[in-house]
Amino acid sequence: LVRTMHGLGEVYRTTVFAKLVSLALLKFTLLDPLGMGIEMEAGKPGWYDALNGLPGLFGSSLCETYELERLLVFLLDAWTENEVKVVELPVEQNILFQEAHLALSDWKASSDTHRDFYLWDAIASARETYRDRVRLGFDGQTIMLSYDELTPILTSFLGKVRTGIQRAVQMNDGIPPTYFAYTVEDYDLVMSSDGQTQYDEQDRPYVQVKNFKPLVLPMFLEGPVHALKVSTDIGSSRDLYTKIKKTDLYDHKLRMYKVNAPLINQTHEIGRARAFTPGWLENESIWLHMEYKYLLEVLRAGLYDEFYTDFQSAGIPFQDPSVYGRSPLENSSFLVSSAHPDESLHGAGFVARLSGATAEFLSMCNVMMAGNQPLYIQDVKLCLDQSPPHPGGLFDGDGKITFTFLGHTQITYHNPSKSDTWKIGGGSDRFVVLHLPNKEEIKLSHSIINSPYAEMVRTGRVDAIDVFL
């Protein structure tokens, strides 16, 4: 997205940037009372819709907090990379920005044990005032905010978000949780000016909450997926991967990953997930879409040995049809995990579908074949990296593997030793040969294809590429 914005005109760059800034602001004002998760105020819990009762329990999700962290980091980086000088915002949003920043400043300066609640109360009030103000639309007035004005606010938002994530991880023994519920511990009745309790149309008293108590739900695979997205080094990613393997999210019998840990101790109020038999449908099953999301992030994190080991046991192409119950060319919505009481169903796939798992599988194939980021900008020039993570077992008898890149260029990797490519050093014997439509061949003595040849590949002006490892 940064590179896309770089190619736009200044007006369009500023407009896109302003929309992303607005999204970050509104998401920040939805942080829960402890600043950990993003509140579920729309009646939906996000991806895991089987927790359809959680929004009614003051539910929140750490997944969206991780995404808010990614967005804030992007915005702060984009200021410099795209030379965005100012951002134009509606005056109503600027007021919300300033109120949230002021409340956050008060939070930083306070030593009160209830400061998190006071921050939540102040920001939630500002958010509701903002929504009431724009319910019928913006009045049209805007304000320009410069880099020097907005950067400190976004930076403070990012610091608070990371503090909340750190708190959540500490509350869950070092593993990112996914969902929270909150119960009201203390409140005051809302009184009218004449000292009478105020009631709504259904004769329920209005209350002013004074304190919340958090509940961390059992682990869900979705939280670690988003945590891996923001992980900054392979060491921390590997540490998280190792921890997940030791939790109830890992099915040791099937060597697969369950969508959630046991919910047996949870109330049925959290949603329909609690009603299903463990190992079936949306409760403790191998929900293929989420398992593939996790495997994709393991691959993107550079944990190649771990990924290919898991993929051999978790990937549908490697399933035994007599156990899976259908063709291994066909995805399922879920596989029955070993948590199910009927052992004869363990590993069987149900509800064949062309689902999100297919998209994740294609993404994994793209990374396996072309690398995590084959095209990138260096010194304002396009480059193409030809060193993706191929496992040795993927090469044919001649030590070759071929795929089509960007729909038009056939790339063949030559690996006579059939070694895992991420373990092969970039020696002097590595080179690339480009085959052009006019039968011309261009030899490059490294695996990085620089400008102008990278542009030629991207625009379809290279028929084939041979990469010799």
The tens digit of pLDDT for each residue in 228-286 reads: 999 989 999 999 999 999 999 999 999 999 999 999 999 999 999 999 999 999 999 99
pLDDT higher than threshold 90 for residue 354: no
Residue 384: C-alpha distances to residues 377, 428, 466 (Å) = 9, 19, 14
CA distance 448 to 458: 14
Measured distance CA(376)–CA(224) in Å, rounded: 27
pLDDT at 430: 83
Dihedral Cα 212, 217, 220, 224, nearest 10 deg: 50
16 phi, psi to nearest 5 deg: -60, -45
β-bridge partners, 278: none
Judged against a pLDDT cut of 70, whether residue 7 lies above it is answered with: no
pLDDT digit string, tens, across residues 452-461: 999 999 999 9
CA atoms of 88 and 386, how far apart (whole Å) = 41
Residue among 311, 309, 303 nearest 365 (CA): 311
CA distance 155 to 159: 6
Please give the pLDDT value at position 186.
Answer: 94
Among residues 134, 139, 177, the alpha carbon closest in space to that of 25 is found at: 134
Q: Which of 121-130, 254-263, 348-357, 431-440 is predicted with the least confidence, judged by mean pLDDT?
A: 348-357
> Is the per-residue pLDDT at 426 higher than 80?
no
- Residue 147 pLDDT: 85
pLDDT at res. 353:
82
Please provide the average confidence, as pLDDT, over all residues in the chain. Answer: 93
Which strands make up the sheet holding 441-444, listed edge to edge? Answer: 400-405, 409-414, 464-468, 431-435, 441-444
Judge contact between 45 and 63, C-beta under 8 A.
no
Distance CA 51, CA 36 (A): 18
Q: What is the mean pLDDT of residues 370-388?
A: 92
Say whether pLDDT at 321 is over 90: yes
Spatial distance between the Cα atoms of 313 and 331, rounded to a whole number of angstroms: 15
DSSP state of 135: T
Give percent above pLDDT 90 in the chain. Answer: 86
Around Cβ 160, how many Cβ atoms within 10 Å? 21
- DSSP secondary structure letter of residue 218: P
* Mean pLDDT of the region 394-406: 96
pLDDT at 13: 58
pLDDT band at 425 (very low <50, low <70, confident <90, very high): confident
pLDDT at 17: 87
Q: pLDDT tens, 18-52?
A: 999 999 999 999 999 999 999 998 888 989 999 99
Distance between CA atoms of residues 403 and 448, nearest Å: 18
Helices then strands, counting H and E runs in the chain, come out as: 13, 19
What's the pLDDT band for 85 if we cut at 50, 70, 90?
Answer: confident
The predicted pLDDT at position 187 comes to: 95
d(CA 307, CA 251): 16
In 3D, which of 47, 150, 62 has the Cα closest to residue 98? 150
In which band, very low, low, confident or very high, does the pLDDT at 63 lie, cut at 50, 70 and 90? very high
What is the model's pLDDT at position 1?
47
pTM of the model: 0.93
- The string of pLDDT tens digits covering residues 135-177 is 999 999 999 998 888 999 999 999 999 999 999 999 999 999 9
Q: What are phi and psi of 254, to 5 degrees?
A: -90, -15
Residue 97's contacts (CB-CB under 8 Å, 6 or more residues apart) are 25, 89, 145, 150, 153
Q: Give the model's confidence band at 11: pLDDT under 50 very low, under 70 low, under 90 confident, else very high.
A: low
